[in-house]
Structure 1
Amino acid sequence: MQRYFVAPEQIKEGVVTITGEDAHHAVRVMRMKPEDRLIACDGQGCTVLASVVDAAPQEVRAEVLEKLAPDSEPAWRITIAQSLPKGDKMELVIQKGTEIGAAAFLPFESQRMVVQYDGKKEAKRLERWGKIAKEAAEQSHRHCIPAIQPFLTWKGLLKEIGQYDLALFCYEAEGKDAHGIGIADAVRQWKREQGDGASAPRVLLIVGSEGGFTEREAKEASEAGARLIALGRRILRTETAGLVGLACLLYESGEMGGA
């Protein structure tokens, strides 16, 4: 069933109002007509099943039939902090990360970042990324659209680490060492430390750019409170690392049958 994200004020008094590109998509692409059903989410926990009453390319109105439980959102709120990669790799990370279950994405600057960040293009870039996240959230039946946070400097990222219950720093040097700690070890260690308070944490997964991280960055991240982890002994592409780490974290949380 087709799912659309709307602003909270577009679900009121038992009626869902869909406008703009979504209305055009519903009528011209999905060929919706009266009595067809759709799902509408306000991105803040309200998800409803509705039946179309009026369908026009400019506006679709649907009667709310029932509220639905937001059962597709992970209990662990995981943010992928991704050092800005070149080309369209960030778009892939956002699209697939949204499908898997990321709560947010945080682009940041690192020493070996290949691309040159252009602050003048940030607004346009965030708009594009937000659209990708929205479409992926609809496709994967999410109840919330992951937040795309503004670009941070390296120092800004270090300050963010302390705002999370658990911060994991993906560092390839850990993978080369037979004694390097992996995600499962780091999570289980954290769970032992937290006891009963480990049920629904905010997690920051930090991933480097194409060039990886320097020893100094690893040291500074560790000093800021992040745990250095390995994603195996193979070198993963930057657009692969965050997705692998996200899937591992959701498994360890019990989302995919682990824990």
Structure 2
Amino acid sequence: MQRYFVSHPAIENRFSITGDDLHHIARVMRMKEGDSIICVDPDGISAVCEIAEITDEQAIANVVKWIDGTSELPVRVAIASGLPKGDKFEWIIQKGTELGAWEFIPLNATRSVVKWDNKKAFRKIERWKKIAKEASEQSHRHKIPEVLSPVSLTELINLSKNYDKKLVAFEEDAKQRESSVLSKTLNKLERGQSILFVFGPEGGLTEEEILLLKENGFESCGLGPRILRTETAPLYALSAVSYHFELLG
């Protein structure tokens, strides 16, 4: 059943769907009155709905049944990733959303080959947000992850004050098979809390960047004995969080 994130709560058990989602319902899916969809309101509450009306301005969907429960991770996971080449950050957003990430923070790291173009910034960020939205719909999320504008390391450190735990993946720790920090941190993390992971671009973070992060409350950790690509490492971390909190119980 197709899922849509609506911009306003239901009024008298009716949702109004406009914009791109209206186009998707009417033109892409070619839905009719009586078809069923799932609507998710801004608070992450979802409902099975029946389309009552489709016009050029909006689609009206009546609530048939509110859905209990959530598919969200029990902890909030933010992924800060050094801007990689090509479409790798789009891949991180898409797959990271499927795995439950709460927020994505692109980082202008020293070794980032990609240089951020402010003239194209709005269009790029809008594309990232669209990818997160579509991945949230596909994976039956109850929240669309936030996608921030690229930040400097100093700005990231300021943002990090909002998180309960802070880890930075460091290649040298992986070479030394240092995996205990990740495990110990997840054991200390409680449901409802938050964790920020920082990953470098191709070539990794510099020693100076690692040192600055450590001076500001981050712990460095390895992600197993193998060296992971910049687009693989965030998915490893999210999978570890999911296994720890959702499968181990």
Q: State TM-score, norm by structure 1.
A: 0.90
CA contact (8 A) 1:51 1:65 kept: yes
Moved over 3 A (4+): 178-182
Identify the residue that residue 218 of structure 1 maps to in structure 2.
210
Which range moved further: 18-27 or 103-112?
18-27
Q: Distance in 2 between matches of 1:133 and 1:248?
A: 21
Which range moved further: 53-62 or 17-26?
53-62
Amino acid at match of 2:192: A
Q: Where do 1:133-148 residues align within 5 Å?
A: 133-148=132-147
CA contact (8 A) 2:178 2:222 kept: no
- Establish whether residue 208 from structure 1 lines up as the match of residue 164 from structure 2: no
- Classify the secondary structure of the residue corresponding to 2:232: helix
Aligned positions, number? 249
Q: Write the deviation string for residues 73-122 of structure 1: whole angstroms up to 9, x where unpaired.
A: 11101010111111111110000011110011011111111111222222
Which range moved further: 82-91 or 47-56?
47-56
CA contact (8 A) 1:186 1:227 kept: no
Identify the residue that residue 77 of structure 2 maps to in structure 1.
78
Q: Distance in 2 between matches of 1:88 and 1:57?
A: 34
Q: State TM-score, norm by structure 2.
A: 0.94
CA contact (8 A) 1:182 1:231 kept: no
In the superposition, relative to structure 1, how do residues 34 and 180 fare at CA in structure 2: closer, same or farther (>3 Å)? closer
In the superposition, relative to structure 1, how do residues 107 and 61 fare at CA in structure 2: closer, same or farther (>3 Å)? same
Percent identity, please: 40
Q: Write the deviation string for residues 204-235 of structure 1: whole angstroms up to 9, x where unpaired.
A: 01111001011111111111111111012222
Q: Distance in 2 between matches of 1:152 and 1:79?
A: 14
Q: Distance in 2 between matches of 1:83 and 1:17?
A: 38
- Residue 70 of structure 1 and its aligned partner are, at CA, apart by 4.4
Q: CA RMSD in A?
A: 1.6
Q: Distance in 1 between matches of 2:160 and 2:194?
A: 11
Identify the residue that residue 29 of structure 2 maps to in structure 1.
30
Q: Distance in 2 between matches of 1:213 and 1:248?
A: 22
Q: Distance in 2 between matches of 1:202 and 1:146?
A: 14
Any stretches of 5+ residues in structure 1 without a counterpart?
192-197
Q: Distance in 2 between matches of 1:179 and 1:19?
A: 50
